[in-house]
């Protein structure tokens, strides 16, 4: 019985391995933020060149248009995650990206050791190099989730058509009550200095100096947020710590229009239109940095 079960499992895995490249991605849906983080990290480790330019950040940087920056850019940014996680992945991959853009908004967050351990496991690496079915993208649940999500979406459209919809005008695509609640939440969150900030800035400096010594151009930036959040305790503390460790006279920094009132979907995440505009500004400044002696 055990031998038959093992043989059946091997047959199913082999069949899935050969079938997987031909499965339609129309209803492919990753289940949650952490699953998306694993998917993004695994793609960088297993599929991309060590010479790929990188954008390191949190979910705040995920709306940046990497194609507008250039054909050789990848967003190694993690929702709810740290730039230190991305830097540790670069170290493990032994990569030498020509340009590394580093978001400085969430420096208080430490390395995601569970994600890094999963990426560095030798036996998992072997399996994932052999076949994508052993990666995050290969989970059969992704297709089930996608189909269910599509059914729910179509059901909601059908219900709206027959029952009518809420006529309340959204704020930047979000219900006004929800937007106000999110703003209050982020104001509370940003009202205190991040724990471990100085230690993380020191770690960041070690990573950056190692990359710089190997030929990478590291460029820091602070993603714009709603103007009411800009000068709260947390962003001020991060700026002060960064100014000491990474003075603008020695390190590259991007600058954005401080007079512009940036539109966000929740206070800290730019709308797509704003993110596209910011990306164009970033591309122009990075090109200047690369051309400078």
Please, what sign has the CA dihedral across residues 250, 251, 252, 254? negative
pLDDT class of 149 with cuts at 50, 70, 90? low
Which sign, positive or negative, has the C-alpha torsion 86, 199, 102, 94?
Answer: negative
Instruction: Check residue 284 and give its pLDDT.
Output: 95
What is the phi-psi region of residue 94: left when phi exceeds 0, alpha when psi lies from -120 to 50, beta otherwise? left
Of 32, 10, 31, 22, nearest in space to 139 by CA: 31
Reduced to 3 states (helix: H, G, I; strand: E, B; else coil), residue 103 is strand
Contacts of residue 141, Cβ cutoff 8 Å, sequence gap at least 6? 31
Q: Quick one: tokens of 199? A: 């230690």
Percent over 70 (pLDDT), the chain = 88
- The pLDDT value recorded for residue 169 is 54
- pTM, whole model, 2 decimals? 0.87
Angle at which helix 113-120 crosses helix 122-130, to 10 degrees, equals: 60
The residue extents of the domains of the chain are 25-291
CATH architecture of the domain with residue range 25-291: 3-Layer(aba) Sandwich (3.40)
For 188-237, the pLDDT digits (tens) are 999 999 988 999 999 999 999 999 999 999 999 999 999 999 999 999 99
Judge contact between 92 and 210, C-beta under 8 A: no
When comparing pLDDT for 178 and 21, which is higher?
Answer: 178
- Is the pLDDT at 132 greater than 80, yes or no? yes
């Amino acid at each position: 019985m055990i031998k038959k079960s093992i043989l059946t499992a091997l047959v199913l895995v082999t069949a899935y391995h050969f079938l997987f490249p031909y499965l339609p991605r129309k209803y492919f849906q990753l289940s949650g933020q952490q699953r998306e983080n694993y998917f993004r990290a695994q793609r960088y480790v297993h599929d991309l060149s060590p010479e790929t330019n990188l954008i390191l950040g949190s979910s705040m940087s995920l709306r940046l248009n990497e194609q507008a920056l250039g054909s050789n850019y990848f967003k190694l940014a993690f929702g709810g995650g740290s730039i230190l996680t991305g830097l540790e992945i670069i170290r493990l991959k032994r990569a030498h990206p020509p340009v590394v853009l580093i978001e400085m908004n969430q420096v208080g967050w430490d390395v995601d050791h569970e994600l890094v351990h999963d990426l560095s496991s030798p036996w998992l690496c072997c399996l994932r190099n052999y076949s994508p079915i052993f990666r995050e993208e290969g989970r059969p649940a992704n297709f089930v989730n996608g189909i269910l999500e599509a059914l729910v979406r179509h059901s909601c459209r059908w219900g709206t058509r027959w029952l009518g919809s809420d006529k309340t005008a959204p704020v930047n695509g979000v219900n006004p009550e929800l937007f106000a609640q999110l703003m209050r939440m982020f104001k509370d969150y940003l009202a205190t200095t991040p724990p471990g900030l100085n230690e993380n800035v020191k770690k960041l400096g070690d990573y950056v100096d190692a990359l710089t010594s190997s030929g990478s151009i590291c460029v820091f930036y602070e993603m714009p947020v709603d103007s009411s959040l800009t000068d709260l305790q947390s962003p001020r503390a991060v700026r002060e710590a960064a100014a000491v460790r990474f003075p603008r006279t020695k390190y590259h920094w991007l600058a954005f229009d401080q007079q512009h009132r940036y539109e966000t979907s929740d206070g800290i995440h730019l709308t797509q239109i704003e993110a596209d505009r910011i990306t164009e500004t970033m591309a122009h400044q990075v090109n200047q940095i690369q051309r400078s002696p």
